[in-house]
Structure 1
């Protein structure tokens, strides 16, 4: 009995000692939180989940490599929030990340969410990088907390206008937008550049980002005999619009659009409509096959997240890597210390060689025009 008691006490003391050693080891590990906000619920959930996957994959890769900053071993963690593609929900989520003291955020699909949320991050001094929100107004304030690693709508709208006028030689086009900052933004750039090239805009209509019935708009447009329709909005509306164009016999009318509809999911939402063959859309950045590290990265992504890839996740991956690279060079995860290093980034990422202008826009951004061949998104022009 006495021997058992002694053995028990010895075991407890040994356990306490080992706990103490473990605690001491953990004390040397610094957790750095990286935020992500996106529409992981609702009709744009395919985008939000894809982007969040990119952030998670980058964090896993960083933790696998191991990193030391200021003499401490770093462990990165994601703090993920859902914005439901809603500006109010997005700004509330941004404030939540600020309150949780994330060191940086790689975030936002929608410009309508990103623009007001960028002020929240600016006011709390935390840098945010977007790999998807493309409205040029996002970087107009010139804040040192706002960065974009993808071409903005000025580049995408101009590319589509040039394709319309110069490559296809079209003369009459209709324009429809969903009245969001993203949809209106890219549609207005396209229309402006199109008219400069001598193409007539025969109709200028609008809908909203929740609509699914476009028969009245399309019937009105059809009477004006456009050769193409430009849609400023997301794939969730572009798909039903393509189906209804087919129902109205508009099988010879092209449909143009930006990155919001330029995703593999468009083919599913279009549900076999022949008009899908008439789509030409623009993405900021290169196709995955043309990215410096795209093919190998996509292979790893598909192994982790089969069937979930859309378009933006490699940009969100690079966004996390940019933050980590700036922290490493600054030898600090304090935003006040590492933001100047982020501004001076010269980073070879999966997507491209990333450097920033003074306002947080990328230097020399690329774009890709794509169409759908046998239901699959296929690049046709890269710059």
Structure 2
């Protein structure tokens, strides 16, 4: 039997269908996680790697059928580019505040993270940095600020102790890029090196846009150091290694923190022999020593082949830690779930995440790396 519907009946049926289709949205809670990093400019490889880690976490969370306050949750990533520039970073932070995100994972650089942290605190939005290591971040008294890896006090000190105790060095030169990160880790290295009996024979400064270091390296050469410590990032460290070769300094050791400790450093050094003398420090265990590291890296490489650098697993964990606090609070409201972050006890990819009262990671690990045959390799 066939029925013919009148136009009015068809219109009413269509309206009812539209209402039915839109109704589930009323039962869905959209949770917005902000991510900020430099996805343009010389440090874009770091920023894209970090953003990839955030996207992996968001995609996984959306397969878990999470329910908060009786509503099914849909997680969304709001990604912003700060270009590793403090002014751009604060603008991005304010944009995320205005968008009323539920939490922020970022920034990458200490120079962008520090000023942005004040904005997030004023907005009442929890922030977990997966990469910024300047100790001042946790010393500001901001109850919204958390860090997921060792800070510069651990990295700089670890390198200085290794230089003195393991390598027996007596004379080093120090160069930093005058950023919050570069200057901060250089100051820690100098302090601990001096305590360990190492003489700092030269101090030079550059900036985070420079590529020509011949003048400062020539001045350093006259002081005959056994090693050069560089506080900065790999876009500067790569050319610096090439120029060390040109000045006949390829035999000196080159120390640096996590800013230079990337797979890309080998590429940026252009085959410089000085790469063989690099010793760099990274907060956390090496991925192959993390309980879930190998499986996580395989999943990352399948999704983002050839893009892994340093911090993506920390970004992934930061998003998951935030979601874990929301689940324990049964709410994505920052005012409700923020107190639960302080009680975090989460088995992540990078570590068992437990926070100190000031937002620092409890008992953070640190790993030293060298470059064997051009490949970043953890020291055993």
Q: Give the TM-score normalised by the residue count of structure 1.
A: 0.97
1:10 Cα deviation after fit: 4.7
User: Does the alignment pair 1:131 with 2:130?
Assistant: yes
Tell me the CA shift for residue 12 of structure 1.
3.9
1:141-290 equivalence runs, <5 A: 141-290=140-289
Q: Tell me the SS of whatever aligns to 2:287.
A: coil
Structure-1 separation of matches of 2:47 and 2:16: 45
CA separation in 2, counterparts of 1:346 and 1:174? 41
2:69 is matched with which residue? 70
In structure 2, the partner of 1:41 is 40
Alignment of 1:228-377 (within 5 A): 228-377=227-376
**Equivalent position of 2:58 in the other structure:** 59
**1:220 aligned counterpart, secondary structure:** helix
CA distance in 2, matches of 1:197, 1:71: 58
Counterparts of 2:261 and 2:354 in 1: how far apart (Å)? 25
Deviation (angstroms), 1:142: 2.3
Aligned residues: 379
CA shift digits 1:173-199 (9 cap, x unpaired): 000000001000000000000000001
Give me the whole-angstrom Cα distance separating, in 2, the residues matched to 1:272 and 1:344: 47
Tell me the CA shift for residue 4 of structure 1: 9.6
Once the 2 structures are TM-superposed, how far is the Cα of residue 9 of structure 1 from its aligned partner? 4.9
Q: Find the counterpart in structure 2 of residue 118 from structure 1.
A: 117
Q: Distance in 1 between matches of 2:307 and 2:325?
A: 29
Question: Aligned residue for 2:103?
Answer: 104
Q: Is the 8 A contact 1:144 1:343 kept in 2?
A: no
Q: Report the alpha carbon displacement of residue 25 of structure 1 after superposing the two structures with TM.
A: 1.4
After superposition, the C-alpha distances for 1:261-316 in whole angstroms (9 at most, x for unaligned) are 00001011001111101100000111111112111011111111111110100000
| Counterpart-to-counterpart distance in 2, 1:7 and 1:369 | 76
Looking at structure 2, the residues matched to 116 and 6 of structure 1 have their Cα atoms a distance apart, in angstroms, of 64
Following the alignment from structure 1 to structure 2, what is the Cα–Cα distance between the partners of residues 242 and 347? 40
Q: CA deviation at 1:141?
A: 1.4
CA 1:8–1:302 in structure 2 vs 1: closer, same or farther (change >3 Å)?
farther
Kindly provide the CA deviation profile for residues 218-242 of structure 1, in whole angstroms up to 9, marking residues without a partner as x. 1111111100000000000000000
- Bigger mean CA deviation after superposition, 158-167 or 22-31: 22-31
For each residue in 1:115-154, what CA deviation from the matched residue of structure 2 results, as whole angstroms up to 9, or x when unmatched?
A: 0100000000001000100000011012110000010000
**RMSD across aligned C-alpha pairs, in angstroms?**
1.2
Task: Indicate conservation of the 8 Å contact 1:142/1:358, yes or no.
Answer: no
- The normalised TM-score by structure 2 is 0.98
